[in-house]
Amino acid sequence: MGRLNVTLCGLPLDNPVIPASGTFGYGYEFAGLYDINVLGTFSFKGTTRQARFGNPTPRIAECTAGMINAVGLQNPGVEKVISEELPRLKACFHKPVMANVSGFSVEDYAYTCALLDKEPQVGWLEVNVSCPNVHGGGMSFGTEPRAAAEVTKAVKAVASKPVIVKLSPNVTDIVLIARACEDAGADGISLINTLLGMRIDLKTKRPVIANTMGGFSGPAIFPVALRMVYQVSKAVRIPVVGMGGVRSAEDVIEMMLAGASAVQIGAENLVNPFACRDIIAALPQVMDAYGINTLQDIIGGAH
Distances (CA, A) of 264 to 52, 119, 122, 275: 24, 22, 17, 11
**Nearest C-alpha neighbor of 6 from the set 253, 172, 210:** 253
**Nearest C-alpha neighbor of 227 from the set 181, 169, 150:** 169
**Would you place residue 135 in the very low, low, confident or very high pLDDT band (cuts 50, 70, 90)?**
low
Kindly report the number of other CB atoms within 10 A of residue 258's CB atom. Answer: 25
**Would you place residue 140 in the very low, low, confident or very high pLDDT band (cuts 50, 70, 90)?**
confident
Q: CA 127: distance to chain centroid?
A: 9
Instruction: Look up 131 and say whether it is catalytic.
Output: yes
Question: What percent of the chain is predicted at pLDDT more than 70?
Answer: 97
Write out pLDDT tens, residues 18-77.
Answer: 999 999 999 999 999 999 999 999 999 999 999 999 889 999 999 999 999 999 889 999
This prediction has a pTM of 0.96
**Would you place residue 141 in the very low, low, confident or very high pLDDT band (cuts 50, 70, 90)?**
confident
Kindly report the number of other CB atoms within 10 A of residue 28's CB atom. Answer: 17
Mean of pLDDT values over 148-163: 97
How many residues in the chain?
303
Write out pLDDT tens, residues 198-254.
Answer: 999 999 999 999 999 999 999 999 999 999 999 999 999 999 999 999 999 999 999
* Cα torsion through 15, 25, 95, 280, rounded to 10: -20
Q: Are 240 and 259 in contact (CB under 8 A)?
A: yes
**Would you place residue 131 in the very low, low, confident or very high pLDDT band (cuts 50, 70, 90)?**
low
Domain boundaries, the chain: 6-55+72-196+217-298
Active-site position among 113, 131, 181, 276: 131
**Would you place residue 1 in the very low, low, confident or very high pLDDT band (cuts 50, 70, 90)?**
confident
Q: Which CATH architecture has domain 6-55+72-196+217-298?
A: Alpha-Beta Barrel (3.20)
In SS3 terms, 54-77 reads as CCCCCCEEEECCEEEECCCCCECC
- Mean pLDDT for all residues in the chain: 95
Q: How far is it, in rounded angstroms, from Cα 103 to Cα 34?
A: 32
| Higher-confidence position of 139 and 95 | 95
